[in-house]
Structure 1
Amino acid sequence: MHSSAVFLIEFGAVILGLGLLGRLAGRFQFSPIPLYLLAGLAFGEGGLLPLGASEEFVAIGAEIGVVLLLLMLGLEYTASDLVSNLKTQYPAGLVDATLNALPGAVMALLLGWGPVEAVVLAGVTWISSSGVIAKVLRDLGRLGNRETPVILSILVLEDLAMAIYLPIVTALLAGVGLAAGSVTLAIALGVAGLVLFVAVRFGRHISRFVSSDDPEKLLLVVLGLTLLVAGIAQQLQVSAAVGAFLVGIALTGSVAEGTHNLLSPLRDLFAAVFFVFFGLHTDPASIPPVLLPALALAVVTTCTKIATGYWAARRAGISVKGRWRAGGTLVARGEFSIVIAGLAVTAGIEPSLGPLATAYVLILVIIGPLTARYTEPLARRLIRPKPAAAPAADTASAADTAAETATAESKLRETQRG
């Protein structure tokens, strides 16, 4: 009885605190994500008031939060939109992997680590946070922007790439042979491909199956189906986020709209819990020794992510403003980076890798919402046309026009004399 009372007090205090922080952020028209993360640091190990009884529940709530974030993002797009975007944006995925994985690998080698550590840190710096970015897009009201499908395509390509990357990293960390690693990889690819095929080919049938005029039944069926698919996907070494996202795109029409309205409050609650959970597992005392390498890596990969988004949006024919918004939105790292670093920590390789990855993600999960909001206006201020360029062009244009007018008048006079 006593432990349940402590659980209710702790969890109630966390939720109340998040609500107050959300109000504060809303008053200043700012994303509450950094505030949620700092709250997690305050309640985590080494913080001001560590949690005890409610930590396990917060961990489960965090997983549900990521799943719901990706489900709701998937509801914004149809399966045909996804296939079309993937066909057109796969070069952006290659550019993304090259520009953002390479800095992590180079940093690991500069620190004197081995090739396995380099592969792990490359994954940490490569993958953007789907959970953070989905929340930022919603908070800033950009889900309907023209650049959002480009951002989404890159995120989906990254998430699908994890179906290949995670089995490879797991095999490297475990030191298994080529045959065992190949079997794991084949299973992961097969599951991801099967879920995508079902979502694209049978989306209308799935929508009919879950459709209901009763909101209670619709909520239970959709939420149960989403958690089931996400859990199976994760059990088979495929991202739970990918499974949830594909369930979202499989639902169309009135079912998608009804699901969005019903699950929005749950999504907001568990998404906030996810960011608190992230902070709970970061000991503030472990950050200072690795802060300089983490800062250097954060600066470099902030620039490379912005360049990735800008290039991808430009390739898609988006305006200059949209290109900068796309680049700034992709900066945040989060759940996948922590998962990758966690695999390395569990395997007992380089002890500094965990704190470095944690500090790096901590920096970018705070900076990410800021770059999403301010990259475009800052670029607009810094990159302006030269003041002399426009008058010079106008002068040249005026001179050309005057010359053409004089020539026409001369020809007219000659014609009149003739």
Structure 2
Amino acid sequence: MHSSAVFLIEFGAVILGLGLLGRLAGRFQFSPIPLYLLAGLAFGEGGLLPLGASEEFVAIGAEIGVILLLLMLGLEYTASDLVSNLKTQYPAGLVDAALNALPGAVMALLLGWGPVAAVVLAGVTWISSSGVIAKVLGDLGRLGNRETPVILSILVLEDLAMAVYLPIITALLAGVSLAAGSITLAIALGVAGLVLFLAVRYGRLISRFVSSDDPEKLLLVVLGLTLLVAGIAQQLQVSAAVGAFLVGIALSGEVAEGAHNLLSPLRDLFAAVFFVFFGLHTDPASIPPVLLPALALATVTACTKVATGYWAAKRAGISVKGRWRAGGTLVARGEFSIVIAGLAVTAGIEPELGPLATAYVLILVILGPITARYTQPLAMRLTGRRKPAEPPARTETAETVEAAETVEATEEPREAVDQHGGH
């Protein structure tokens, strides 16, 4: 009875604290993720108030948080959207992977962590935060801008790459043989391909089976199906998160919209618990020694993300201002980086990897909204100083008119996008 009371007090205090931190972040209009990570550091070993009785429950909640994050991400896209993005935007995805995964791998090798840690850190620096970026786009009123589809296409390609990447690092962290790892990857690719095929061909039937006018029944069926598929995927040595992502892709139409609205509060709750859980496993005293490498890595990969967005937007025929906006928006890292690092921390491959990832995400999740807002005006000012005579007044006027027409033409689409969860 006493331990039960302690559990309720501890867990209640954690949830209440997260709610207050979320309100604080909302008041200052920035992502609450860094505050959640700091809360985890405070409640973990070496922190101000270590948890005891509720730590095991927090671990389960964190796993559910990862599953819901990936499910909600899958609900944002239809299978046909994914296939279309693969066909038209795959060069941008390849440039994104090359520019942003390579610095992480090089840093791990320079620190002497070995090839497995290099693969893990490459993923940490590669994947942008879809959640933070979607919120930033909404806050800045850019959901209807011409460069936004380019940004979303890169995020979709990264999400698809996760379906291949997560099984690979799961096998590497487990220390399985090359043959066993190849089998795991083949299973993951086969399952992903099968789900995409079924979603394209029979998506309406699947959605009709899940659909219900009763919100309670819809919530239970979608959540139960997601946890079931995630568990089966994990049993097959495929990531549970990938299973949840594929379930989200298979659902479409009104079912996806209804499930999105019902699951959003649950996603936010358990995602917050997940970030706290990651912080729990990071000793605050271990962060200062890796702060300089994390800062260097954040600086380099912020620049490479800006270059990625600029190149992809230029390839899509976007104006110069839109190219800089696209690049600055992609800088934020968050939930995926922590998910990847969390797998490595659980496997215990490198003690300093968790602290480095925590410091890295803290830096970029704070820097990301700033670069999204100020990269374009700063770039225009610097470009104008270098070449004062080059842009004539006529060109400037044309760009201004184009920007005004873009805003006016996209007011209605922006409202429509907001109703569908931000994408």
TM category (shorter chain) comes to 0.7 to 0.9
2: CA distance between counterparts of 1:210 and 1:277? 32
Contact in 1 for aligned 2:163/2:242 (Cα 8 Å): no
Give the superposition deviation at 1:312.
2.0
SS in 2 for 1:45: coil
- Specify whether residues 374 and 228 from structure 1 end up closer, same or farther in structure 2 by C-alpha distance, changes over 3 A only: farther
The answer to whether the 8 A contact 1:31-1:139 is kept is no
Q: Which amino acid is the alignment partner of residue 118 of structure 1?
A: A
Cα offsets for 1:78-108 (capped at 9, x unmatched): 2222211121111111111111121122223
1:221 aligns with 2:202: no
Q: Which amino acid aligns with 1:270?
A: F
C-alpha distance 362-147 of structure 1, shift in aligned 2 (>3 A): same
Q: Deviations over 1:37-82 (max 9, x none)?
A: 2222222222211222222222222232333333333333322222
Specify the alignment match of 1:81 in structure 2.
Answer: 81
Segments of 5+ residues of structure 2 without an aligned counterpart are 396-423
Shift of the 28–239 alpha-carbon distance from structure 1 to 2, 3 Å rule, reads same
Deviation of 1:177 (Å): 4.2
Per mean C-alpha deviation after superposition, the further-off stretch among 77-86 and 206-215 is 77-86
Counterpart of 2:41? 41
Match status 1:240 vs 2:237: no
Which position in structure 2 is the counterpart of 1:98?
Answer: 98
More divergent stretch after superposition (90-99 vs 48-57)? 48-57
Letter in 2 for 1:30: F
What is the aligned partner in structure 2 of residue 124 from structure 1? 124
* CA distance 1:136–1:179, shift in 2 (3 Å): same
8 Å Cα contact 2:86-2:157 kept in structure 1: yes
Partner of 1:256: 256
How far 1:117 moved relative to its partner? 4.0
Equivalent residues of 1:162, 1:239 under 8 A apart: no
Write the distance in 2 (CA, Å) between the matches of 1:73 and 1:145.
Answer: 21
Paired position in structure 1 for 2:207? 207
C-alpha distance after superposition, 1:226-273 (max 9, x if no partner)? 222233334334443433333333323322232222222222222322
Note closer, same or farther for the CA distance 1:62–1:316 as it changes in structure 2 (3 Å cut). Answer: farther
SS of residue matched to 1:51:
coil
Which SS does the other structure have where 1:202 is aligned?
helix
Tell me, in whole angstroms, the C-alpha distance in 1 between the residues paired with 2:219 and 2:98. 41
Q: Deviations over 1:19-38 (max 9, x none)?
A: 22222222223332222222
CA contact (8 A) 2:196 2:249 kept: no
Residues 1:155 and 2:158 are matched in the alignment: no
Provide the rounded CA distance (Å) in 2 between the counterparts of 1:392 and 1:136: 32
What amino acid does structure 2 have at the position aligned with 1:249? I
Of the structure 1 ranges 225-234 and 293-302, higher mean CA displacement relative to structure 2 is found in 225-234
Q: Which amino acid counterpart does residue 90 of structure 1 have in structure 2?
A: Y
Deviations 1:275-312 (A, max 9, x none): 22232222110011122122111111111122112222
Question: Where does residue 333 of structure 1 map in the other structure?
Answer: 333
Percent pairwise identity: 92
CA distance 1:315–1:60, change in 2 (3 Å): farther
* Match in the other structure for 2:411: none
- Tell me, in whole angstroms, the C-alpha distance in 1 between the residues paired with 2:361 and 2:23: 25
Check whether the contact 1:85–1:149 (CA below 8 A) recurs between aligned residues.
Answer: no
**Aligned in 2, Cα 1:106/1:47: closer, same or farther, shift over 3 Å?**
same
Look up the equivalent residue of 1:282 and give its one-letter code. Answer: T
Alpha carbons of structure 1 residues 172 and 266: separation in structure 2 relative to 1, 3 Å: closer
Native 8 Å contact 2:68 2:267 kept in 1: yes
What CA distance in whole angstroms lies between the structure 2 residues aligned with 1:96 and 1:22? Answer: 31
1:187 Cα deviation after fit: 1.7
Residue aligning to 1:52: 52
Report the TM-score, using the length of structure 2 for normalisation.
0.81
Instruction: Single out whichever of 307-316 and 127-136 deviates more from structure 2.
Output: 127-136
Q: For residues 243 and 152 of structure 1, what CA distance do their matches in structure 2 show?
A: 21
- Distance change >3 Å, CA 147–CA 269, structure 1 → 2: farther
What's 1:230 paired with?
Answer: 230
Q: Which runs of 4+ in 1 moved over 6 A?
A: none
Question: 2:359 is matched with which residue?
Answer: 359
Tell me what 1:290 maps to: 290
Q: Alpha carbons of 1:150 and 1:239: their partners in 2 closer, same or farther (altered >3 Å)?
A: farther
Displacement after TM superposition at 1:333 (Å): 3.3
TM-score w.r.t. length of structure 1 = 0.81
Contact 1:6 1:53 in 2 (8 A): yes
119-128 or 295-304, which moves further after superposition? Answer: 119-128
Deviation at 1:146, TM superposition (A): 4.7
Matched positions, count = 394
Distance 2:116 2:69 in 1: 31
Shift of 1:116: 4.2
The 8 Å contact of residues 294 and 357 in structure 1, kept in 2 or not, is answered as yes
User: Structure 1 stretches of 5 or more lacking a match?
Assistant: 395-418
C-alpha separation in 2, matches of 1:347 and 1:78:
34
Cα pair 1:328 1:376 within 8 Å, conserved = yes
Aligned to 2:264, what secondary structure does the other structure show? helix
Query: CA contact under 8 A between 1:191 and 1:236: conserved in structure 2?
Result: no
Residues 183-229 of structure 1: CA distance to partner in whole angstroms, max 9, x if unpaired? 22222221222222222222101110011111111111112122222
